[in-house]
Amino acid sequence: MDSAYLIETIIKVVVVLLVFSALAGIGTYFERKVLAFMQRRLGPMNVGPYGLLQVAADGVKLFTKEDIIPTNVVGPIFKIAPVITAATAFMAAAAIPFLPSFTLFGYEVHPIVADINVGILYILGIMGVGLYGPLLGGMASANKFSLLSAARGAAVFISYEVITGLSILAPIMMVGSLSLIDFNNYQIENGWIIFNMYGVGFVAFILFWIAAFAETGRTPFHLIANDHEIIDGFGTEYSGMRWGLFFIGEYANMFFLSFVIPLLFLGGYGDGSFLGAMALLGKVAFFFFFFLWTRAAWPDVRPDQLMWLCWKVLMPIAVINIIIAGFVMMF
């Protein structure tokens, strides 16, 4: 391993970390504004022009707030749980190609930290590990609501992971690779996967999208930290920056899934031109906006309804989808 490669990788890691930490903050601003406009409110207006510095104010607050470790919690686990959520969210980003490769000062840059051949498997696996944050934090908190949240976390986890895994099997069968760059190249030649193979790709896309909501804990499946039922769930006992890490992890996860969905199903960055890169960012913006949009429009489901949906409705559809994909590929 030569040192140039090492330096390049470190720079990429730092850039991804900084950009998406900042985006997570700005994401909260967008969420507040979009929700406010949809509910005929103004949202944050007083800190900076149009409330733009609200993010900075929140950051200062989170960083300077006292970090309270309650008496009866299981200390080490309580302390490490938020780090798991935030760290796994960013680790998952390692295999995501954010943009097509471009030339900067005569040096070709690949905006992907590591193009590993099990890309999508790695991303989903690490994102799955991210759920240990709420699970461990909730169980270590010595709080009934946190415990309920951890139990719900486990239930949600085993429900949606089945759907994410099964739904992307059909596209993987089409592409024959797990790397997101191979996914992108396949879609340059054969068109977007959602239009491929008589609707199999489309069904897989819908299933993955639904599971993405459970994965990020966004509104229709906002069960783990459901404010109006179990206070803040696993976050009830957390304060200051530990709680902030949960938050950054959640929002970074939303952004990364907003990248993964178009890369898997909607053609990604296309042929690698500037237009293709902009199209990818546009698709990402749409999927992120959709996460906020549903929060304004849809009610939450109960945990048992989510499990019913995942196990009894979506899983059979996913399995049938794979079988159809197999038959189409065979004949």
Partner 1 sequence: MNNEQFNNRDVSENGYYLVDIEDYPTDGWGKFKRVVKRTFRGELFVGLWVVLREMIRFDIHTVSYPQEKMPIGPRYRAVHEMKRLWESDAERCIGCGLCEKICISNCIRIDTKIDENSRKEVSEYSINLGRCIFCGYCAEVCPELAITHGGEYENASDQREHFLIYEDMLTPLDKMKAGTQLEFEGFGAITPHEDERVKKTPLAY
For partner 1, the binding residue among 77, 109, 296, 307 (CB under 8 A) is: 296
CB closer to partner 1 out of 242 and 295? 295
Per CB under 8 A, the segment of 86-94, 96-104, 141-149, 295-303 that binds partner 1 is 295-303
For partner 1, the binding residue among 68, 297, 323, 329 (CB under 8 A) is: 297
| 307 near partner 1 (CB under 8 A) | no
For partner 1, the binding residue among 38, 114, 275, 285 (CB under 8 A) is: 38
Check if the beta carbon of residue 259 is closer than 8 Å to that of residue 194.
no
| 294 near partner 1 (CB under 8 A) | yes
- Quote the least distance from Cβ 45 to partner 1, whole Å: 7
| 293 near partner 1 (CB under 8 A) | yes
Burial (0-12, 13-18, 19+ Cβ within 10 Å), 86:
buried
- Quote the least distance from Cβ 293 to partner 1, whole Å: 6
Query: Helix and strand tally (H, E) in the chain?
Result: 14, 2
CB closer to partner 1 out of 275 and 297? 297
For partner 1, the binding residue among 102, 209, 286, 298 (CB under 8 A) is: 298
273: DSSP letter: S
Query: 183: closest CA among 122, 263, 127, 100?
Result: 263
Size of the site for partner 1 (CB under 8 A): 14
| 320 near partner 1 (CB under 8 A) | no
Q: How far does Cα 9 stand from its chain's mean position?
A: 22
First to last CA, the chain: 45
| 40 near partner 1 (CB under 8 A) | yes
Please state, in angstroms and rounded to a whole number, the distance separating the CA atoms of residues 314 and 331.
26
The answer for residues whose C-beta is within 8 angstroms of residue 57's C-beta and 6 or more apart is 47
For partner 1, the binding residue among 18, 19, 60, 313 (CB under 8 A) is: 313
Distances (CA, A) of 28 to 44, 88, 247, 254: 11, 20, 9, 11
| 94 near partner 1 (CB under 8 A) | no
SS3 call for 117: coil
CB closer to partner 1 out of 68 and 297? 297
Query: 146: closest CA among 133, 155, 137?
Result: 137
| 209 near partner 1 (CB under 8 A) | no
Per CB under 8 A, the segment of 1-9, 33-41, 155-163, 225-233 that binds partner 1 is 33-41
For residue 10, how many other CB atoms are within 10 A of its CB?
11
CB closer to partner 1 out of 151 and 301? 301
- Quote the least distance from Cβ 233 to partner 1, whole Å: 24
User: Which residue do the tokens 């908190």 mark?
Assistant: 141
Please state, in angstroms and rounded to a whole number, the distance separating the CA atoms of residues 94 and 154.
25
Q: Which helix (H) or strand (E) holds 20?
A: helix 3-38
- Quote the least distance from Cβ 297 to partner 1, whole Å: 4
- Quote the least distance from Cβ 175 to partner 1, whole Å: 29
Q: Give me the residues that bind partner 1 (CB under 8 A), please.
A: 34, 37-42, 45, 293-294, 296-298, 313
